[in-house]
A and B are shown apart, each in its own frame.
Chain A
Amino acid sequence: MNTFEYLRPATIAEAVAAAAEPGAAYLAAGTNLVDLMKGGISHPTRLVDINRLPGLDRLEHLPDGGVRIGALVRNADLAHDPVFARRFPAIAEALLSGASAQLRNAATVGGNLMQRTRCAYFYDVASACNKRAPGAGCDARGGENRLHAVLGWSESCIATHPSDFCVPLVALDAVVEIEGRAGRREVALESFHQLPGNTPERDSVLGPGELIVAVRLPPAAAKFAAHARYLKVRDRTSYAFAVVSAAAALEVDGGRIAEARLALGGVAARPWRARAAEKVLAGTRPEAATLRRAAEAALAQARPSGENAFKIELARRIVARALALAAAGTPERVPALPASPFASVAGAAVHA
């Protein structure tokens, strides 16, 4: 780890000013950044510790029915907030399916949005990676790319975004509140993460010094509470990144889907909103053939970036199953193995 200057500003304005300098980075929990610094992947010369900034750790249920989640709210606290979990069960399920209990106690909402890809070539400083070293090339392209992107990738980068949390958020039209030198602005989460194009080094739309202060869910996000699930396939049962995941949220009226929301994880450099599939579902009954058609629509633009064609069909099946589970209704309690494809098995243990 290189040496760095450590600052602990008292206000958001001071933080933004301090972080606008070249080489500066924000430090929240550090569960990804410290990792990247130890591995020699990130070399910030200044760390701006935002952990003690006032007000960023608040979870507010807004008068209009929306909710505002401060950037420093810890993943565990958000998932375990009973009101939040009841109103947005798929988000709680996604949070609990990520990382470990220890990391969820530390990791923050803002940090979750800001985590870097888990592409092994990005982490291996001896490999070529355009995201880590622009212009260096992409060793993943012709290499071990079983888990890489099948949507939205470019010749310069085929990495995926690893977040679980962001997948239901993007399905529910979350908005990111950003503070910068020019004041506050808002960006839809769907446009917050950048597809690689020719600039894969840019993960998001944040400019120098810009700080995520909150993530907001609009009032409409709560109307799916009765029919919302997050489903995730991973290489082991717990504490593993998604091979593919899906968040499905339905508004069901009289046995028909009034409105559907769908997003996929592990398939692209951003949490992938599947609007075409949502259109297929609107007004239909959630029958197997319809769900399958929606799944096909969701992956219509997908193409393998290497030895990962299997992920496209896997993603279709996960989408169809997530929709079926959502249609069947949100379970009373989050399963013991949140987001596990096995958690739906009758008789599987559940907890409060």
Chain B
Amino acid sequence: MPDGSRSGAEYSLRIRVNGTDHAVSLDPRVTLLDFLRERLHLTGTKKGCNFGECGACTLHLDGRRVNACMVLAVQADGREVTTIEGLAEADRLHPVQQAFIDADGFQCGFCTPGQVMSAVACIAEGHAGSDAEIREWMSGNLCRCSAYPQIVDAVRAAAAAMAGKG
């Protein structure tokens, strides 16, 4: 039999997170989200629902936005993860982070890491062409403070800034 683990056993895997490799042994029930929060203490990725419905745990897996709560850590074996902590370069905020501040795109901040990671992907995917499009493509992220209009403003502004730059 190829790779595998017996019931209740731990499973060895390697995951690259924000540019750093981690070799760990895990119960296969552990989600990527819990692995990041509890094992690596990268708590910027939030658990808002644990069922893939709120988007607070959005991160980039091999460059694509996904809900970390719906991915078992073992599924991410050998893959590359970027979280909110890995977005800014040194002290310089990512343009999307700056745009969220400038547009007052959040209040309590709990959904914000997920919103930002989703917004970065939304722009990269080419889905920030109009306000209606931004609204639709940001609808995987709930914000109960309901900063939605400001989030749309932020994504629009960041998309423009990033297009201007490059």
Q: Residues of A at under 8 Å CB distance from B?
A: 1, 3-10, 14, 18, 27, 29-31, 34-35, 38-39, 45-47, 49, 51, 76, 99-103, 105-106, 237-239, 336-338, 348-349, 351-352
Contacts of A103 in B (CB 8 A): 52, 66-67, 70, 140
Known interface pairs A349-B133, A351-B130. Does A4 touch B2 (Cβ–Cβ under 8 Å)? no
Central interface residue in B6, B70, B72, B139, by most chain A CB within 10 Å = B70
Known interface pairs A101-B118, A102-B118, A337-B136. Does A1 touch B29 (Cβ–Cβ under 8 Å)? yes
Q: Residues of B at under 8 Å CB distance from A?
A: 1-8, 11, 27-29, 31, 50-53, 55, 58, 64-67, 70-72, 74-75, 118, 121-122, 125-127, 129-133, 135-137, 139-141
Known: A5-B6, A45-B7, A239-B53. 14 other contacts (CB 8 A): A4-B7, A4-B28, A6-B4, A18-B1, A27-B75, A31-B52, A34-B70, A100-B55, A101-B122, A101-B127, A102-B55, A237-B136, A239-B140, A337-B132
Contact A105–B5 (Cβ < 8 Å): no
User: When chains A and B are docked, how far (Å) is the Cα of A31 from the Cα of B72?
Assistant: 10
Contact B51–A101 (Cβ < 8 Å): no
**Closest residue to A5 on the B side, CB-wise?**
B7
User: When chains A and B are docked, how far (Å) is the Cα of A38 from the Cα of B130?
Assistant: 37
Contact B2–A10 (Cβ < 8 Å): yes
**Closest residue to A80 on the B side, CB-wise?**
B125
Contacts of A352 in B (CB 8 A): 126, 129
Contact B139–A238 (Cβ < 8 Å): yes
Contact B4–A101 (Cβ < 8 Å): no
**Closest residue to B140 on the A side, CB-wise?**
A100
**Closest residue to A17 on the B side, CB-wise?**
B1
Contacts of A45 in B (CB 8 A): 7
Decide if the interface of chain A is mainly helix, strand, loop or mixed.
loop
Contacts of A10 in B (CB 8 A): 2-3
User: When chains A and B are docked, how far (Å) is the Cα of A106 from the Cα of B69?
Assistant: 12
Contact A336–B65 (Cβ < 8 Å): no
Contact A101–B65 (Cβ < 8 Å): yes
Whole-angstrom distance between the Cβ of B52 and the nearest chain A Cβ: 6
Whole-angstrom distance between the Cβ of A2 and the nearest chain B Cβ: 8
Contact B139–A239 (Cβ < 8 Å): yes
Whole-angstrom distance between the Cβ of B15 and the nearest chain A Cβ: 15
Contact B1–A102 (Cβ < 8 Å): no
Whole-angstrom distance between the Cβ of A231 and the nearest chain B Cβ: 16
Whole-angstrom distance between the Cβ of A104 and the nearest chain B Cβ: 9
Contacts of A105 in B (CB 8 A): 64-66
Contact A34–B31 (Cβ < 8 Å): yes
Q: Which one, B11, B51, B58, B122, contacts A35 given CB within 8 A?
A: B51
